[in-house]
Chain A
Amino acid sequence: MRREKRVLVAIVIASTLLVSILGYMYLTEIGQRETVYVGTTTSLYDTGLLDVLKEEYEADHPGTNIAFISAGTGIALEHGKNGDVDVLLVHSPALEYQFMEEGFGVNRKIFAYNFFVIVGPPEDPAGINGTGPTEALQTLLEYGRSTGGPIWVSRDDRSGTNQKEIALWGEAGFDYDTIKQEGWFLSSGSGMGATLQVADERGLYTLSDIGTYLKYRADGLIGLERLVENDETLINVYSAIAVNNTRVSHVNFQGAMQFIQFMVSQRVQEIIAEYGADTLGRPLFNPAVDVLRTGQPADVAGWIRSYAYFDVGGTLYECPPQWRIGEYGLYS
């Protein structure tokens, strides 16, 4: 049948076209530039800083492509264990320690820090403005229990920010998993931006990273005020960790180490120090490499050490010697 033949020919042409395009896409992908996969936390990626660094790096290393996989710290570490990323940029010392202790990560280097903030409605019904974090959380809890209505919203997604929140409640003397069940405590289960909007909409308090907060505030998306900030216990430390190629096969270890060296280089540290100053009125991150090398300013260096260093046999290490591979001039 002629008609049938035509239909057949059309099908054959369409599928040939399909296969060739697919093949082309696949081949261009394989024969392409070397790619370094960087697993990163959302609070870092969403600020846009990494897009700037990607351009810098690719200009320096023609032929290399940086691919950021942006996810919460928990799933980012999971990507590392599976060998789907070569290097991690994360901010949860407790989870990092576990990851490295299990042998998945090596050559950890702290590259930046900033502070979390406790934000809330401008009228501040619970009256926590100006208090310290521990006192603020205790006040909020009591206020919440007395009024019964929702007062606090938590991301509750095991992100770095959520890990910090759990630790802060612990320091205030409460068990996160217990108070989570109470009526004044809401769980948004979503990212920082969405959680800030929930807090704004419903007049709640929450813990936020400074980057997301400033961005949302500058864009007029939220009216929340910073009520508790610049306290030692609110410090937020970002580190880079290479995935251990002796434990996880196939990862691009050389590429990962080159990227870490780039992150701690003088030039990138300067970019980090300035990022956000022009658009948001103040920088979002502080470079950490010089602070830790010189120990100045002493208070900040001390805070980072006590919060983000690993205690091995009574000594504090940025990266304990047994978890270092190769010599990349990272530790002096």
Chain B
Amino acid sequence: MTVEEEIVAITLRSLAVSGMASLLAAGIGLPIGVLLGLRHFRGRDTLTSLFRGLMSLPTVALGLILYLIFSRAGPLGFLRLLYTPAALVIGQAILVLPIMVSITTETVENVNPSIRDLALTLGADERGAAVSVMRESLGGIVLALSASFSRAISELGVALMIGGNLQGLTRVLTTSIALETTRGEIMLGLALTAILLSLMIVFNILLNVAERRVRWWLWE
């Protein structure tokens, strides 16, 4: 495999792994966020603070914890997940889940309460009212997706500790940048960084376009 092909493969792998991690986190985090934003129950404030606090979990610390769990000597060692792409997806999903939950909660909570009341007055049931609120929160949810994906694709600690930076398997953009830097291949490291940044800018442009389309679609 030439260097160019290798870079393309690494880039695609980065997108796939972090994309799946963000989707996984969205699947779990969005409902939790909406719930925390709409309902008020005992312990809710503690939960939101907990998720906000977890946003600052260092990637290398999470990597270490997950290594101890996924290691052959650890509680989930029998799954043989360590040093596989699947482990990487799970790790990054856990990493970005607090971001997903916190931003969603905040957005949903800040939607003008009158919208829900209005929907209810206009004859919508509870679920319908919830959808109206969701629609108003779209911008915040898109931001949550964007922030989660950005954090997932730019993190290094988890990818190194439980991915192992295996060539052709778990080598992603950030671990390649780290490896090429320690190898003294500074230009290659910078090139990979440029790829990562341009990808994220393009991704956010596309996401903005998508947000407009979805908004239009929801309103019909």
Using a CB–CB cutoff of 8 Å, the interface residues on chain A facing chain B are 1, 3-4, 7, 11, 14-15, 18, 21-22, 25-26, 29-30, 37, 42, 46-48, 51, 54, 67-70, 81-84, 191-194, 212, 215-216, 219, 221, 248-251
Whether A193 pairs with B128 at a CB distance below 8 angstroms is no
- Which A residues lie within 8 Å of B74 (CB)? 82
Bound-complex Cα distance A177 to B58 (A) = 29
Listed A/B pairs (30) with beta-carbon separation below 8 Å: A1-B128, A15-B23, A18-B20, A18-B23, A18-B27, A22-B20, A22-B24, A22-B86, A25-B85, A29-B85, A37-B83, A47-B183, A48-B183, A67-B164, A67-B166, A69-B164, A70-B165, A82-B73, A82-B74, A83-B72, A84-B73, A84-B82, A84-B83, A193-B183, A212-B184, A215-B184, A219-B185, A221-B184, A248-B72, A251-B72
Of A7, A46, A82, A249, the residue contacting B183 (CB under 8 A) is: A46
Q: How many residues of B contact A (CB 8 A)?
A: 35
Whether B131 pairs with A3 at a CB distance below 8 angstroms is yes
Whether A26 pairs with B86 at a CB distance below 8 angstroms is yes
Bound-complex Cα distance A250 to B80 (A) = 10
Whether B182 pairs with A42 at a CB distance below 8 angstroms is yes
- Shortest beta-carbon distance from A154 to chain B in Å: 17
B193: CB under 8 A from chain A? no
Whether B184 pairs with A26 at a CB distance below 8 angstroms is no
- Shortest beta-carbon distance from B130 to chain A in Å: 9
Of B131, B164, B166, B179, the residue contacting A4 (CB under 8 A) is: B131
Bound-complex Cα distance A48 to B180 (A) = 10
- Shortest beta-carbon distance from B5 to chain A in Å: 15
Which residue of chain B lies nearest to A216 when distances are taken between CB atoms in the complex? Answer: B184
Bound-complex Cα distance A250 to B131 (A) = 51
Q: Interface code B140-151, partner A: CB below 8 Å = 1, 0 otherwise?
A: 000000000000
- Shortest beta-carbon distance from A279 to chain B in Å: 12
B191: CB under 8 A from chain A? no
B48: CB under 8 A from chain A? no
Bound-complex Cα distance A24 to B23 (A) = 16
B173: CB under 8 A from chain A? no
- Shortest beta-carbon distance from B19 to chain A in Å: 9
Whether B27 pairs with A15 at a CB distance below 8 angstroms is yes
- Shortest beta-carbon distance from B22 to chain A in Å: 10
B71: CB under 8 A from chain A? yes
